[in-house]
Chain A
Amino acid sequence: MLSLEEIVDKHAGMVRRIATVYERHPDRIDDLVQEVWLAVCQALPRLDNPATLKPYIARMTQNICVTHVRRALVRKTELLSDSVPDASTPIDEATDHTRQLIRLTEAVRNLPDLLKAVAGLYLEDIPIKDIATILGISESNASVRLHRAKTFIRMSFGEAS
C-alpha cells in the first residue's frame, strides 16, 4: 500500500486539473484541492483495493467540485469579479504550449455542466466505464456526452468537427 505522500505526489496533478475545470480563482482551487486531499486522507484506511485508487480519487474530486459549485453559485457576484487570465490575453512569457494549455482549460471550463464532468475525467485517462460509474449514468450516455464534449473542444480550437 502506498503512503499518503506517494499518493499525493502521484495524483496531485489530476486533482488540481479537475478542480481547475470547476473553479477559476487560484485561492479557491487551492481550497478545493486541500478539501479533496483531506477527504482522501480520512478515507484511506477504509480503501481496500489500491488498484482502484485513481478512479476513487477522481470520484472524490468530482463530488467535492460539484458540491463546491453549489456553494459558489450563491456567491455568483463574487465569482464574476475574479480577475482571471483569459486565454485570448497575450502572455509575453508564455510559450505556445502554455497558451494551448490555457486555451484547452478554458474550453473545458466553458462546456455545459453535463459535458464538463465527462470531459474532465476523460482527459485524465479515466476509462469510459469508470466515468459512467463515477457520475451514476449509463455507459452509452457517457459516450454520447464525451463525443459532444470533444466536438465542443475541437470547435473552440477552430478545428472542423
Chain B
Amino acid sequence: MKEPSQIDPFAKLWQSAPKLDTRQLMLDVQRLHKTHQWHNRILILILCGIALLLIFYVATERSKTLGILSALWMAYVVGAIWFQRVRCGSADALNLDTVSLLKRMIARAKRGLFQARCLYVGTPVAALVATGLTRTSGLSLTSDGYAVPSWLALMQTIAGLIALVIMVVAGLILAKARRRQLQELTEKLRSLGENL
C-alpha cells in the first residue's frame, strides 16, 4: 500500500522541508538528560540523608519516638520510589492515546483543585478547630511545665498566622489555575472525543 507522501501532493510537500541539523539538538537533549539524572540522584541523596539522620537520632536516644518516625519515613520513601518505578514502567502517561491522556490530566487537575481547596479552606478551618479545642480542653503544648517566654510565644503566633495567610493565598492561586486548566482540558477532550 502506498504512503500518503507518494500519492498526496500535500503530504509530499509537507515532507519536503529541508533536513535539520540535529547536532545542537542532540547536545541539548543529552545535557538535559544528564541534568534530570543529577536531580534524581540529589533527591535520593537528600531522602537517604534524612533517613540516616533519623536513625542516628533514635540510635543515640536523642529522640524518644522508639523509631516509629524513622520507620514511617523510610516506608514512605521506599513506597514513593517503588510507586514511581512501577508507574513509569507500566503506564507511561505519554504512551497513552490523546483522549486517555486528557482524561488522566482532567483527573489530576481535579485532584489539584481538591488539594488547593484543602489549602485555602481546610487549613484555616483546621487551625480554628485546633485553637478552639486547645482552649476548651485546657490542653497546651507547654503543659509539662516548660515555660515559654512571652515574646517567643508572640513570635510563634505571628509566624503561625503568616504561614496560614501564605497557605490560603497559595491555595487560592492554585485553585484558580486548576479551575482554568480543568475547563480548558474538558473543552479539548470534548472537541477531540466528539463523534462525527
Contact = CB atoms under 8 A, between A and B. Distances in A.
B191 A134 contact: no
B26 A8 contact: yes
Interface in A53-100: 56, 59-60, 62-64, 66-67, 69-70, 73-74, 97, 100
B16 interface: yes
A59 B97 contact: yes
Interface pairs A-B: 7 shortest CB-CB: A136-B97, A136-B99, A123-B14, A125-B3, A37-B29, A144-B196, A12-B22
A41 interface: yes
Nearest to A108: B14
A49 B184 CA distance: 35
B100 interface: yes
A105 to B, nearest CB: 8
A112 B165 CA distance: 43
A55 to B, nearest CB: 11
A38 B26 contact: no
Most chain A CB neighbours (cut-off 10 Å) among B13, B88, B194: B13
A26 interface: no
B186 to A, nearest CB: 11
Interface string B1-43: 0011100001101111101101001101100110010000000
B99 A137 contact: yes
A13 B94 contact: no
Contact of A9 (B5, B15, B22, B33): B22
A43 B185 CA distance: 25
A104 B192 contact: no
A101 B11 CA distance: 10
B13 A104 contact: yes
Interface in B180-196: 180-181, 184-185, 188, 191-196
Contacts of B94: 39, 43, 59-60, 63-64
Contacts of A101: 13-14, 16-17
Contacts of B17: 13, 17, 101
Contact of A38 (B16, B22, B32, B194): B32
B69 interface: no
B89 interface: yes
Contact of A63 (B5, B20, B101, B184): B101
A34 B25 CA distance: 7
Given A37-B25, A66-B101, A69-B188, A141 B195 contact: yes
Contacts of B29: 4, 8, 34, 37-38, 41
Interface string B83-119: 0000011001111111111100100000000000000
A8 B33 contact: no
Most chain B CB neighbours (cut-off 10 Å) among A17, A43, A60, A66: A66
A33 B25 contact: yes
Contacts of B33: 38, 41-42
A42 B100 CA distance: 21
B181 to A, nearest CB: 7
Contacts of A100: 13
Interface string B37-67: 0000000000000000000000000000000
Nearest to B32: A38
Contacts of B92: 43, 46
Contact of A70 (B28, B89, B184, B194): B184
